[in-house]
Structure 1
Amino acid sequence: MLIGEVARRSGVSTRMLRHYDSLGLVRPTGRTVGGYREYSEADIRRIFHVEGLRSLGMSLRQIGQALADPAFTPATLVSDLIRRTEDRLQREQELLDRLRAIDASEPAGWDGVLHVVELLHGLDSPSPSRRQQAALAPIEDVSLLAKAVLTEAHPNVAGALRWALARAGDEGLAAVAAGLRSPDVAVRRRAVQAIAELPGDEATAVLAGALDDPDPDVRRHAALAAGRRGTPAAVPLLVAMVVEGTNDVEAAEVLGVLASDSGRGERILDALAGELAAPAAVRIRITQAFAELPGTLAHDVLRHLVDDEERAVALLAAALLDGQSTGR
């Protein structure tokens, strides 16, 4: 089969077929009387093999090595191709994100485009100090700001970004709340931390929704934030934190705030007291939590704990009762 017919049937241009020939990649096995290239069926199969490997991102040099070595094993090469493809996709996704950010900012001219590009470079900088400077500059694109909040791991930069987001109002809440739907636990945790600094009933409702997050760490962050805003649904999680010893001091303080409502105070007291049939270390934490409850709410329970078999619990309960009696 002559080169023109091969090109028509294979979809590979005659120019590329000649290039394959010059590289020794696919050399036609025959020549006509007139000296034209003549391809056999085996040559055509090799062309399709080359094109198939090219479709995987292999270079012509790699393809030549693979086809020339009968003992060639593709595992290492395929792994390398996967890594390089993932890197390329990441770069292209970053480019796409930048283009979308520029489009969302609706720049009126090239000055606007360059401003967003400069901001993106600042927020994506490997230097935390430069990212923090970018966060403290005016950022009009709330979606861009929310993305930075949800991805920033450095505590100082994250704090600056949350401060900037808080100035964006309701629009900032909607943008960052989308992070609660992320499969990445770290992103959901950052979303809760950012929403905790936003004012308003809508932010409180979003935090209450995060109390059901599948990750315990996200739930705990949400419970502390929602509890400070007076959300009763946070109580079971806060009590569990005291029992488990996870941020128990913070959790006890928030329970104290919630217990300032007379109706909730009794329920919180009962919830804590219901966990006293536990090891001594847990009883100590619960007794310490009673100290955060307002007034003499825990007075009767503390009187009972004065006789606790664990000396540390008994002494702590006695000290708290003494403090109540003397008004300390």
Structure 2
Amino acid sequence: MLRHYESLGLARPTGRTIGGYREYADDDIRRIFHVEALRSLGLSLREIGRALEDPGFAAPALLSDLIRRTEDRLHREQELLDRLRAIDAATPGDWPDVLRVVELLHSLNSPSAARRQQAVLAPTELPAEVLAGALLTESDPNVAGALRWALARSTDDVLAALTPALRSADVTIRRRAVVAIAEIADADAIPVLTAALKDPDLAVRKHAALSLGTRGERSAVPALVALIIEGANDVEAAETLGTLATDPTTATHILAALTHKLSHSTPEARLRLVQALGELPASVTSETLSTLTDDADVPVALTAKALLRKFG
């Protein structure tokens, strides 16, 4: 190595002994240590030579470049590690199986939506983590549907693969994740969906609330009422409240939530709230609707009268 450094002009011996061995002064040894220190940072020998010889060499610029190059290398290594783990998780039996999984992984990254969909529907089962990762970045609705189908039939822990995405700063990823989680029948999805009710994005809250409501979860009531007020899937939200109202205690709770919002909502929202009352049992809402027939808001009063007539 010292001979190599000498040939590049990085380190030169002060002299030689009678026996021909190189002799280095203290400054020479210090320079060799400087070369080794800079090598440990990832600098090439050519860059080290420039750094040691040029007094005006800009160290900050070189360090910034080293950071960028190292980050790029780590990113490539992480991609390789993820690919290897995905192949290992697919439990290939032999090298042809390994090559088949590699081919499917390449197809999942294809610019062709048709090819990506074919990879998802292939007989070889890909790990849930791979499918979830593909789903969270998939923009084509047909491919996304195929990925959710594949996740639904996966024997892996699909919930564990999708739940971290609900903490993403990217709202699109959170939306894709909650749609997939909403389709998971496992009861373990309930606390995950309940937590999603606090998401700042209306669409995320919507999918979580509708899914929880169809599962009979009373915790979804405030979010479903909010959807009616916002006019976001309000008909579906009202129907879901009607399903929840088959339980008498929950029906009373829903009535209280709807009537509370009636007192301080916009005219358009009040009309939607009254219409939602029509999804509840008549035995629960008749008294409230009778009161609303005298409401100063004519559309609200007329809707209340129509609902009473429907109930007979």
Q: In the alignment, does 2:121 pair up with 1:136?
A: yes
Gaps of 5+ in 2: none
Q: 2:108 aligns with which of 118, 123, 126?
A: 123
How many residues are paired up? 303
Q: 2:168 aligns with which of 184, 195, 207?
A: 184
* Counterpart residue type for residue 131 of structure 1: R
Q: CA deviation at 1:198?
A: 3.0
Aligned to 2:193: 210
Is residue 145–residue 165 contact of structure 1 (8 Å, CA) maintained in 2?
no
Provide Cα deviations, 1:191-232, integer angstroms capped at 9, x if missing partner.
Answer: 432232233xxx234223431246344554322211122222
C-alpha distance 33-175 of structure 1, shift in aligned 2 (>3 A): same
C-alpha distance 268-43 of structure 1, shift in aligned 2 (>3 A): same
Aligned to 1:9: none
Q: In the alignment, does 2:6 pair up with 1:21?
A: yes
2:292 and 2:70 mapped to 1: Cα distance? 64
Aligned to 1:318: 302
What percentage of residue pairs aligned between the two structures are identical?
53
Is residue 269–residue 298 contact of structure 1 (8 Å, CA) maintained in 2?
yes
Aligned to 2:291: 304
> SS in structure 2 opposite 1:275?
helix
Provide Cα deviations, 1:158-185, integer angstroms capped at 9, x if missing partner.
Answer: 21100122223xx24x233343145435
Gaps of 5+ in 1: 1-15
Q: In the alignment, does 2:43 pair up with 1:58?
A: yes
Is residue 256–residue 293 contact of structure 1 (8 Å, CA) maintained in 2?
yes
Q: CA deviation at 1:294?
A: 4.7
2:272 and 2:54 mapped to 1: Cα distance? 70
- With normalisation by structure 1, the TM-score equals 0.78
Provide Cα deviations, 1:224-279, integer angstroms capped at 9, x if missing partner.
Answer: 21112222222233223434555545433322322233332221111121223324
C-alpha distance 56-300 of structure 1, shift in aligned 2 (>3 A): farther
Q: 1:242 aligns with which of 228, 232, 238?
A: 228
Q: CA deviation at 1:138?
A: 2.2
The equivalences for 1:98-177 within 5 A come to: 98-148=83-133, 151-154=136-139, 155-168=141-154, 171-172=155-156, 174-177=157-160
Q: 2:58 aligns with which of 73, 77, 94?
A: 73
Q: CA deviation at 1:30?
A: 1.4
Mean alpha-carbon deviation: is it higher for 37-46 or for 114-123? 37-46
Aligned to 2:14: 30
1:134 and 1:228 mapped to 2: Cα distance? 32
Aligned to 1:265: 251
- With normalisation by structure 2, the TM-score equals 0.81
